[in-house]
Amino acid sequence: MSYYFTILSPTDTPIFNIAFGTSKGGGDGIARFRFPDTAQYMNQFIIHSSLDIVEEAQWTNGGMYLKHVDTYPPAAAYISAFLTPSGARFLLLHQPPQLPSGNASLGSSSLLGASGSTTRTSSSSVAANPTSPQTEEAVRQFMNEIYESYVKSAMSPFYKQGMEIRSPVFRSKVTAAGKKWL
Amino acid sequence: MNSRRVILTVRSNLVSRNDRTRIDKVNAELVTLTYGTIVAQLCQDYDSDYQEVNKQLDKMGYNIGMRLIEDFLAKSGVGRCANFRETADMVAKVGFKIFLNVAPTVTNWTSDNNQFSLIFEDNPLADFVELPDDGRAQDELWFSNILCGVLRGALEMVQMQIEAHFVSDVLRGDDTTEMRVSLVRYIEDEMPPEEE
Amino acid sequence: MAAPRHSAMLSISNASTPQSTSSDKTQVQQPQSPAGTSGLRVPSNRKTIYDRHLNRSRNAELSRASFAYLFGEMVSYAQRRVTGIQDLEKRLNEQGYPLGLRLLDLLFYRATSTSSSALSSSSTSSSPPNRPLRILTLLHLIHGPLWRLLFQRSADALEHSVSPDTPNEYMITDNEPLVNTYISVPREMSMLNCAAFVAGIIEGVCDGCGFEAKVSAHNQPTEMWPSRTVFLVRFGDSVMEREKVLERAGVK
């Protein structure tokens, strides 16, 4: 499983990005996206195209963790969202590893997660199924842990909303949370 | 530009009068966060000219110190200190305790007993704070500089002219937060100093 | 909506992914070596804001006088840089605004991280708190938990405008605002209310939650409460429209 995590300001400016791979089931923590050359661009594109759905969910579900909100079948990418009360969005894109056959076609998968079945063969690890309850719970823990670090960044009087979070300590906290939960 | 007249005054004696009849505490975080906005605002207003921000903070502190001393004397009930060493202990163990709920360590006296350091283990003003990562703030800004002014203003009202400045700060990556305080002279005449 | 998003999404490119071998020397952050390459120095114990527990000062108290002096200096400083009461109140409001955003995150963090929720009056609920979706939920959050965090008590009243022309106006009353307790305003500035700072905090909370609003502080003294202050919260049209939609949809 490969992950791309981003924090967007209330005005959709990315204030933090990181890519990493799973550390579960012997994973080495390195992201291996299906389109390595364009991964950076694609990931941001996919995340941004899920924002309308996030915004809709934002006003029907009062939770901070919105779970899996969107799927982008062409890249087999799943998006999970966490909203801070002050309007920042934590978005996690997960992409299961490509099947050996190279058959990544998911057809017209619904947003409800039925598409998860196509990846079942690739791995038995929890993280391999982006919509399973175990994954949802792991992502929730991951998000909560990052929320704590985010609040610490935002509490500093010199931090202004929408400012890029450049602290390497913050980055290492996110990396550690990824390693621990994903 | 507007006149520099300070027309909004803190009713200083009200502070001590009220203390007897009502709780005289506030949430520490309200103080911390309010101070943070003050420093951030100064940095913005002075376009990150941190020397100037230090100066302004010191000035604010001076204004506070001059009024706070009355309150301090009323609350602590202490009398005149016999010497500068006694003053230092009073400042650290009573003054800072009352107003900031910390008791910095008094240390590093010079042999003439005219200079000492205050080492702060805790500093509620700096809670939650990370200085701007602009390559300058950690070299130039003394985030808690208002405290130097407070000390200067307060001691001036009890006839001691002092000089105070920070020499290290954990916010700058130093291992301690240390303020150096020097006695300049005892003020002989009884005229109150002019407000800055 | 799509156009600005696509332009914004490339505005930073700080994700030096582990598989990208060409390292960009101009980037400050390097994921492989935390705490080493930032411009910020840390003490030898490596303690940073990220190592300090967010609840550490949760119940800490400080002298009320310290706050009074600090707030007084903040107001006089602001006053030296503006002309007129309106500008002064605007400035105080702007200084409070970012505090509102911070307090919002802090409140929710504390509500999620502790068993006794700071956001709900019933201590039995252990589920994380919900973001306010409706105006009343938001106002209760301000009237209760926010006020308690700041002033250690709830606000005194919460009212809705009775005028059919201003359904978007709500009033939060504080009979004795802490921020005004020690400020004496001269007669010629009797209109001034330094609780504009608190109004800014409220505005930050509203905006943060996605309820665009203007908040102002007004003197409404009574014989018993000479410094009684009413915070007038005026929500924007978009908020009122959404409110109607959510009402119809049965969202609480």
* Residue that is written with structure tokens 């309308």 in the block: A52
Please report, for chain C, the start and end positions of each structural domain, with discontinuous segments joined by +: 63-115+129-252
pLDDT at B192: 61
Q: Which two tokens stand for residue B113?
A: 């007993």
Q: Quickly count: other Cβ atoms within 10 Å of residue B42's Cβ.
A: 22
* Residue that is written with structure tokens 């307790």 in the block: C181
Which fold is adopted by the domain A2-181?
Beta-Lactamase (3.30.450)
Please report, for chain A, the start and end positions of each structural domain, with discontinuous segments joined by +: 2-181
Contact A166, A10 (CB under 8 A): no
Contact B89, B107 (CB under 8 A): no
Q: How far is CA B166 from CA A132, B176, B181, in A?
A: 56, 11, 9
Sort out which chain C residues have CB atoms less than 8 A from A179's CB and list them.
Answer: none
Distance from CA of C161 to the nearest CA of B (A): 30
State mean pLDDT over C33-45: 69
Contact B117, B178 (CB under 8 A): yes
Amino acid at C243: E
Contact A149, A176 (CB under 8 A): no
**C194/B64 CB distance under 8 A:** no
Sort out which chain B residues have CB atoms less than 8 A from A167's CB and list them.
Answer: 130, 133
Helix, strand or coil, per DSSP, at residue C62:
strand
pLDDT in tens, C119-163: 654 444 456 678 999 999 999 999 999 999 999 999 999 999 989
- Per-residue pLDDT band for C114 (boundaries 50, 70, 90) equals low
Q: Where on the phi/psi map is residue C48: left (φ > 0), alpha (ψ -120 to 50), or beta? A: beta
Task: Name the H helices within chain A.
Answer: 39-49, 51-58, 133-155, 168-181
Q: Which two tokens stand for residue A51?
A: 């924002």
Q: With helix as H, strand as E and coil as C, how does C5-42 read?
A: HHHHCCCCCCCCCCCCCCCCCCCCCCCCCCCCCCCCCC
Interatomic CA distance for residues B27 and B48, integer angstroms: 29
Interatomic CA distance for residues B53 and B74, integer angstroms: 32
**A158/B132 CB distance under 8 A:** yes
C63–chain B Cβ distance below 8 A for any pair: yes
Determine the residue among A49, A150, A152 to mutate to test chain C binding: the one whose Cβ has the most chain C Cβ atoms within 10 Å: A152
CA dihedral C160, C163, C168, C174 (to 10 degrees): -40
**B25/C43 CB distance under 8 A:** no
Interatomic CA distance for residues A169 and B159, integer angstroms: 47
**Partner residue facing C64 (CB), from B26, B32, B42:** B26
pLDDT in tens, B60-79: 999 999 999 988 888 888 88
User: In the 8-state DSSP scheme, what is residue C115?
Assistant: S
pLDDT in tens, C157-184: 999 998 999 999 999 999 999 998 877 7
Q: Quickly count: other Cβ atoms within 10 Å of residue A100's Cβ.
A: 8
**Partner residue facing C77 (CB), from B18, B24, B60:** B60
Distance from CA of A35 to the nearest CA of C (A): 12
**A156/B43 CB distance under 8 A:** no
Q: How far is CA C17 from CA A17, A125, B27, C31, C110, in A?
A: 9, 23, 43, 8, 33
Contact B121, B104 (CB under 8 A): yes
Interatomic CA distance for residues C127 and B91, integer angstroms: 47
Q: Please name the residue of chain A whose CA is at the shortest distance from the CA of residue C101.
A: A86
B127–chain C Cβ distance below 8 A for any pair: yes
Residue A77 pairs in a beta bridge with: A72
**C60/B11 CB distance under 8 A:** no
Whole-structure pTM value: 0.84
Interatomic CA distance for residues B158 and B153, integer angstroms: 9
Q: Answer with the residue of higher pLDDT: C133 or A134.
A: C133
Helix, strand or coil, per DSSP, at residue A158:
coil
**B38/C73 CB distance under 8 A:** yes
Q: Where on the phi/psi map is residue C84: left (φ > 0), alpha (ψ -120 to 50), or beta? A: left
Chains that touch A (3 or more CB pairs under 8 A): B, C
- Per-residue pLDDT band for C233 (boundaries 50, 70, 90) equals very high
C251–chain A Cβ distance below 8 A for any pair: yes
User: In the 8-state DSSP scheme, what is residue A24?
Assistant: G
pLDDT in tens, A7-49: 999 999 999 999 998 888 778 888 888 777 777 788 888 899 9
Cβ-Cβ contacts under 8 Å for B135 (sequence gap 6 or more): C39
Strands (E), chain B: 9-10, 25-27, 105-107, 115-120, 160-168, 177-186
Q: Answer with the residue of higher pLDDT: C148 or C27.
A: C148
pLDDT of residue B21 exceeding 80, the answer is no
User: In the 8-state DSSP scheme, what is residue B163?
Assistant: E
Chain B 145-164, residues with CB within 8 Å of chain C CB atoms:
none
Q: Please name the residue of chain A whose CA is at the shortest distance from the CA of residue B125.
A: A157
Query: With 0-12 CB in 10 A as exposed, 13-18 as middle and 19+ as buried, what is B119?
Result: middle
**B2/C150 CB distance under 8 A:** no
String of DSSP letters for B1-54: --------EE-HHHHHHHHTTS--EEEHHHHHHHHHHHHHHHHHHTTT-HHHHH
Q: What is the largest CA-CA distance in chain C?
A: 73
* CATH level 2 (architecture), domain C63-115+129-252: 2-Layer Sandwich (3.30)
